[in-house]
């Protein structure tokens, strides 16, 4: 068993002993266990969120809000007011066009250099 399993079992044993000794009522123990479960779930969700954020950042992705903000800035610089969907499409189309034209010009320059030699 893992350490977490042992912690759960020892916690439950402690609560059961408190019930049998009359220190706590079953309702009090149930409320305490429910509270503990909720807190544990919240802590687990927060840890998962942190891990996902870290992994996504390492992969070089950005959040949707940041993308929309940058798309709005680009549109403002171009003098347009985009909608969310059109901003995303325009950005994708422009980046695809820029990449393909950059590749072509690089190829043309290298061919010209090779021909001159």
CA distances from 28 to 23, 32, 35 (A): 10, 6, 11
* pTM (predicted TM-score): 0.45
One domain for residues 41 and 71: no
Tokens at 50, concatenated: 């942190």
Q: Are residues 7 and 20 in the same domain?
A: yes
Residues 78, 33 share a domain:
no
pLDDT, tens digit (0-9, with 9 covering 90-100), for 51-95: 999 998 899 988 899 999 999 999 999 987 656 665 556 656 555
68 and 56, same structural domain?
no
For residue 12, count other CB atoms closer than 10 A to its CB: 13
Q: Helix crossing, 64-78 with 84-116: angle to 10°? A: 70
Chain centroid, CA 98 distance in Å: 29
Q: Which of the residue ranges 21-25, 89-93, 97-101 would you say has the lowest mean pLDDT?
A: 97-101
Task: Judge if 117 and 81 occupy the same domain.
Answer: yes
105 shares a domain with 87: yes
CA distance to 47, 81, 99, 103, per residue, from 96 (Å)? 36, 21, 5, 11
Give the chain's domain count.
2
Q: What are phi and psi of 60, to 5 degrees?
A: 90, 10
Q: Which domain holds residue 107?
A: 63-117
The predicted structure's pLDDT at residue 22: 87
Residue 112, Ramachandran bin (φ over 0: left; ψ between -120 and 50: alpha; else beta): alpha
- What pLDDT is attached to residue 98? 52
């Amino acid at each position: 068993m893992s350490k977490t399993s042992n912690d759960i079992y020892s916690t439950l044993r402690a609560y059961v002993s408190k019930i049998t000794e009359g220190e706590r009522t079953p309702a009090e123990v149930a409320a305490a266990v429910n509270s503990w479960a909720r807190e544990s779930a919240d802590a687990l969700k927060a840890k998962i969120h942190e891990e996902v954020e870290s992994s996504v950042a390492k992969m070089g992705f950005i959040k949707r809000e940041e993308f929309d903000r940058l798309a709005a800035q680009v549109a403002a610089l171009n003098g347009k007011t985009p909608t969310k969907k059109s901003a995303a499409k325009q950005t994708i189309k422009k980046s695809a066009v820029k990449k393909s034209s950059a590749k072509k010009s690089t190829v043309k320059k290298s061919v010209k250099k090779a021909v001159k030699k």
